[in-house]
Amino acid sequence: MWGRSTSNLVPMYSLENAVDSIAHETGFAGVVSVDRGGEIELAKAYGLAHRGTRTPNTVDTRFAIASGTKGLTALAVVTLIEQGVLQLSTTARSVLGEDLPLIDDGVTVEHLLAHRSGIGDYFDEDAHREITDYVLPVPVHELATTEQYLAVLDGHPAKFAPGERFSYCNSGYVVLALIAERVAGVAFSELVHARVCEPAGMRDTEFLRSDELPERTALGYLPLDGISRTNVFHLPVRGSGDGGIYSTVADFGSFWPALFSGKIVSPGWVTRMLLPHSDVPAESRRYGLGFWLHRSTDVAILAGYDAGVSFRSVHDPRSTLTHTVVSNSSDGAWPVTRLFDDRLS
C-alpha cells in the first residue's frame, strides 16, 4: 500500500480487505491499483509471476494486457491523422494494395477503429472457443512482425458491409497496425513507443517477445486444473495492433492523465475518440474509437482477455479516479473488477 490519503483511509482499508478476501478465495495472481488524481490509494500485488521459480508478482511487474493494446493502437493511428498522412476516410485498400483482397474496398480507417468494418476476423471472438484452444493457423513464432500477420489475416470473408453495425474485430486492429506501419515507414512497435508510450510516461510498456521475457515480467498461465502450463504456444510470439503489449499498473496511472491533458493527441481528438460510435448491449457498454465507454457516463475503459491474460483499466475523467487490475491468468482479474464496479462506480 502506498500513500493512502487520510480522507479515504477507512474506505480504502475496507476496499483492501475486500480485495484480499477475493484474492484468497480465487487464488488471484496479479496487481491491483487505485489512483485518484495522481495519489495512489491502493497498490498491491498477489500471487506468482513465475510459478516454476516461485517468483512473486510485485507492484511493478509487467503483464501482457491483451486487447488493452487497442487503445494505444488507436492513439498511434490518430497521431498519423493529426500529422496529415492518414484521414479517418482513408480506405484500407489505398494502403494495402493487392494484399488481403477479401477486405471490402469501402472499409475506412474510421470503420476499423470503431469495429464497424465488417471484415472477417482471424481471431473471431464470436466463435466462442475455449480459452485453452490452440487457434492460430501458423506456428506462433512466425508472428513476430506486423507484416507476418498477413498469413493469418487473409482468407476470411466479410461478415457485413462496411459501417452496417458493430462487431468486435481483432483483425481490424492488426490491419490498422499494418496501415500505420506502411504510411509511417516505421515498425509498429516503434511507432507506438515513440508516439504513445513516451509522451504518456509509460516507461515499462512495450511489445515484448514471449520467448525472451526480461526480468520483472509475468508469465501467463492457463486454467488447466492446477497444471502450471504457460500460454506461450497460444498467442503470437510478439503482439501487434490487436493485443500483446506488456505494461504495469503504474504506467496506466500515467497514461490516463497524459491522455486527458493532451500529451498524446490533442484534446479535441481525445473528445472525438471517446464519443460513442456504437451501443453494445451484450457488453452493457458503448464503444468509441479504440476505447470502451461506460453505458451512461463518460468513464473510459481499456480491457483485455486472452489465454493467460486478463486486464482492465477504468478512468473517470471527472473524479480523476483510475482503477487498474491485471492478472497473469485468463480469468483472474474479473472478480476484482466486479468489486470495483460495485464499490467505486
Q: What is the pLDDT of residues 11-22, one digit of tens each?
A: 666 889 999 999
Judged against a pLDDT cut of 60, whether residue 201 lies above it is answered with yes
In the block, cell 509511417 appears at: 184
Kindly state whether residue 237 falls inside one of the protein's structural domains: yes
Judged against a pLDDT cut of 70, whether residue 10 lies above it is answered with no
Kindly state whether residue 24 falls inside one of the protein's structural domains: yes
Kindly state whether residue 193 falls inside one of the protein's structural domains: yes
Mean pLDDT of the chain: 93
> pLDDT per residue over 152-165, tens digit each?
999 999 999 999 99
Candidates 333, 338, 341, 335; CA nearest to 306 is 333
Kindly state whether residue 256 falls inside one of the protein's structural domains: yes
Q: How many CB atoms lie within 10 A of CB 282?
A: 8
pLDDT over 90 percentage in the chain: 88
Please tell me the distance from the alpha carbon of residue 242 to that of residue 178, in angstroms, as a whole number: 11
Secondary structure (DSSP) of 94-123: HHHTTSSTTS-TT-BHHHHHTT-S----TT
Kindly state whether residue 223 falls inside one of the protein's structural domains: yes
Kindly state whether residue 189 falls inside one of the protein's structural domains: yes
In the chain, the number of structural domains is 1
Q: What is the pTM for the complete model shown? A: 0.94
What's the pLDDT at 344? Answer: 54
CATH number of residue 104's parent domain = 3.40.710.10
- Provide the grid cell at 199: 509522451
What's the pLDDT at 7? Answer: 38
Confidence of residue 343 (pLDDT cuts 50, 70, 90): low
Greater model confidence, 202 or 343: 202
Q: Which domain holds residue 154?
A: 6-343
Segment 288-297 mean pLDDT: 96
Segment 80-106 mean pLDDT: 98
Kindly state whether residue 339 falls inside one of the protein's structural domains: yes
Kindly state whether residue 1 falls inside one of the protein's structural domains: no
